[in-house]
Amino acid sequence: MKIVFVALALSLLSLELAHGGGRPELANVQEVAVEQIGAIAIRYRSGSVVLQRHDSDTVVVREYLSANNSDFFAGIAHSGNALVIEAGRRPLAGAFRARLEVSIPASFGNVEIKSSSGSVEIRGEFFVSSFDIESSSGRVSVDSVTAGEVSIRSSSGRISVNSVAADRISIRSSSGSIELGSVNRAAGIGAEGLGENAASSVSVASSSGRVSADSIAAGRVSIHSSSGRISVNSVAANMLSVNSSSGAIELGMVSGTADIESSSGSVRGTFTENAGNVSIATGSGSVTVGLPRSLDFNFSSRSSSGSLRTPFDDRLSRPLTDRNSAQGVVLGGNVPGAEIGRDIDIRTRSGSIRVNWVN
C-alpha cells in the first residue's frame, strides 16, 4: 500500500513538473462590462500583475501562463459592486511563470491589488476613488495615480512612483528602497496655506532602504527610514517630520515647520523664505543648513563635540556655563525691536554645525 501511495505521489509530481516553466503565452482572456461595478480587487500569487488603462467601458483580463491549463486560470467573480479577480491553482513544483494584465477605464472607483509573490506595475494615468497596493515579495512601480486615498505597501521589494496625487498618501516598504517623483494633491482640494495642489497628509517609511523624492507638498509630511539615506529635492508642508535611525538626510527647498532627526548620519537642508520653526538634531553626524539672507529668526545651537560656524557669529552669545551652546537673534529684513516668530534650533552630540546664506 505504501509503495502504491509513493508511486501515485511521484506520478502527480511528474505531472505538475510537466506543466513547467517555458515562456508565458496568452492562455486566458475574459471581458466584463463595468456597468454597476464600483470597485476592482485583484488577488494574485506566483506571478506579476500589470494594471493598464484603455478607452473602453469594460474590464479586460489577459493572463499569460507558462502552462496552458484551465486549472491555473484566474477566476472572475462579483462581490456586491466589486469585481474580484483571483489567481487560479498553481503547480505543486516546477518552474511556473505567470503574468496577469488587467485593462480598465482611466476613471474608476476603488482599486485594490494584492500580490503574494510577483511584481506590480501600474501603467498610464488613472483617476480613481482609492488606490491600495500590497506586495509581499516583488517590486511595485506606479506611473500616475490621482485618488482620494493612496496606500502602497511592500514587504520585500522596491517601490517606484512617478506621480501620485491624493488627499491622503501612505507608502511603506519593509525591505527595499522608495523612489518618488511628484507627490501632492489633485487640483482643487489642497491643504490650508499651501495652495490647491497640496495633499492633507503624506507618510513615507522604509525599514531597510533609502527614500528619495523629487517634490512633496502636503499639510503634514512624515518621512522615516530605519536604515537608509533620505533625500528630497523640494518639500512644502505645514508640518514636516523627518527621521533616520541610520543614514544621512538631505533636503532641498524646505518650506514650513520642520522637525528633523538623525540618530546616525549627517543632515543637510536648504530652507526657503516660507520656512517656519526648524528643529534639527543628530546623535552622530554633522549639520549643514542653508538660509535666505532675508530670513528673521531666533537662533540656538548646541554641539557636545564639534564646531559651530555661521555668517552671523557676531550676533551670537555663548553662556559662560555652557560654551558648547550659542544663541542670538538674526534680523534679515526686519527692523530692530520687531517681534521674531521663527525659531531655528540645531543640536548635535557629535558633529559640526555649519550655517550658510543661500542668496
Span 181-204, average pLDDT: 67
Q: Which domain does 71 fall in, by range?
A: 26-34+44-105
**Which residue shows C-alpha cell 472572475?**
76
**pLDDT exceeds 80 at position 2:** no
Print burial letters for 68-84: b (CB count within 10 Å at least 16), e (below 16).
Answer: ebeebbbeeeeeeeebb
Is the residue at 252 inside a domain?
A: no
Mean pLDDT of the chain: 89
Is the residue at 187 inside a domain?
A: no
Is the residue at 101 inside a domain?
A: yes
Is the residue at 50 inside a domain?
A: yes
Our count of domains for the chain comes to 1
The angle subtended at Cα 71 by Cα 70 and Cα 77, nearest 5°, is 90
Is the residue at 319 inside a domain?
A: no
208 burial type by CB count under 10 A (0-12 exposed, 13-18 middle, 19+ buried): middle
Span 73-99, average pLDDT: 93
Cα atoms in the Cβ-side hemisphere of radius 13 Å centred on 70: 1
Q: Which residues have a Cβ under 8 Å from the Cβ of 268 and sit 6 or more positions away? A: 248, 249, 250, 251, 287, 288, 289
The three grid cell numbers given for residue 159, joined into one nine-digit string: 517601490
Note the residue count of the chain.
359
How far is the C-alpha of 124 from the C-alpha of 329, rounded, in Å?
Answer: 51
Confidence of residue 20 (pLDDT cuts 50, 70, 90): low
How far is the C-alpha of 166 from the C-alpha of 157, rounded, in Å?
Answer: 23
pLDDT score for 144 = 96
**pLDDT exceeds 70 at position 125:** yes
pLDDT digits 0-9 by tens, 54-73? 999 999 999 999 999 999 99
Confidence of residue 182 (pLDDT cuts 50, 70, 90): very high
**pLDDT exceeds 90 at position 131:** yes
pLDDT score for 337 = 59
Which 3 state secondary structure label does DSSP give 313?
Answer: helix
pLDDT score for 95 = 85
Is the residue at 205 inside a domain?
A: no
Answer whether 217's CB lies under 8 Å from 253's CB: no
Print burial letters for 271-299: b (CB count within 10 Å at least 16), e (below 16).
Answer: bbeebbbbbbbbeebbbbbbbbeebbbeb
Is the residue at 179 inside a domain?
A: no
Confidence of residue 186 (pLDDT cuts 50, 70, 90): low
**pLDDT exceeds 50 at position 192:** no
pTM score: 0.88
Question: Position 120: which residue type?
Answer: V
Is the residue at 99 inside a domain?
A: yes
* Lowest mean pLDDT, pick from 264-268, 319-323, 334-338, 341-345: 334-338
Answer whether 46's CB lies under 8 Å from 98's CB: yes
**pLDDT exceeds 60 at position 19:** no
309 burial type by CB count under 10 A (0-12 exposed, 13-18 middle, 19+ buried): exposed
Which DSSP string corresponds to 196-244?
Answer: TT-EEEEEEEESSS-EEEEEEEEEEEEEEESSS-EEEEEEEEEEEEEEE
pLDDT score for 101 = 98
